[in-house]
Chain A
């Protein structure tokens, strides 16, 4: 059974940092692109970033470029999102998602809540 489990969310002050983790099981993690997607309160889904199987290629939405860094450790079946210089508007539930085929997201974690507030 494919499982994605996020952790690392919490309350942080504006300008602070947080590192999210996503642990995968039930599939060959090293064979898939992986993404982070977020859902802000009262808003819709927003794709944040993705990373190629070997970590050699990374893409970001403009609003997080230069502040967020996606990475992975295939030996640990884990995906990460380092979030720096956090802003109020980064408050959201963050989901990790597996990409498959034509880059659709076929499996999602349960999400971890990040709250940026003073």
Chain B
């Protein structure tokens, strides 16, 4: 099974900051890496699919990169609505797996 490791587990940042979250797979997953945002009491929301494709309706300040085992999610200029928990997910093979999450908090 493929293990996904995110870092950091939590992050404090200010509105306007540039933020990067890292996700590492235990083996190569090509570009089968997706990113989700989840706010308390809400369902997860797809942000980025296949490593770097922006889901329709998602602001362009979100971007993704990487391939193989190492991936990043970048938010270019944090907005108040971006404070949430972020998860990476591999869809290379079942059992699909998520990273442990990165909680992004207001500094």
Contacts and interface: CB of A to CB of B under 8 A. Distances in A.
Interface of A: 35, 37, 39, 44-47, 50, 59-62, 95, 101-106, 108-111
B91 interface: yes
Contacts of B50: 101-102, 104
Contacts of B22: none
A108 B46 CA distance: 9
B20 interface: no
Contact of B34 (A95, A105, A108): A105
Where chain A touches its partner, the secondary structure class is strand
A11 B55 CA distance: 36
B95 interface: yes
A68 to B, nearest CB: 13
B55 A44 contact: no
A45 B43 contact: no
Contacts of A46: 98
Given A104-B34, A104-B46, 6 more contacts: A44-B101, A45-B44, A47-B95, A102-B49, A106-B49, A108-B43
Given A62-B95, A101-B50, A102-B91, A45 B36 contact: yes
A113 B89 CA distance: 22
Contacts of B38: 39, 45
Contacts of A109: 43
Nearest to A4: B43
B74 to A, nearest CB: 18
Interface string B4-46: 0000000000000000000000000001101010100001111
A104 B43 CA distance: 15
B64 to A, nearest CB: 12
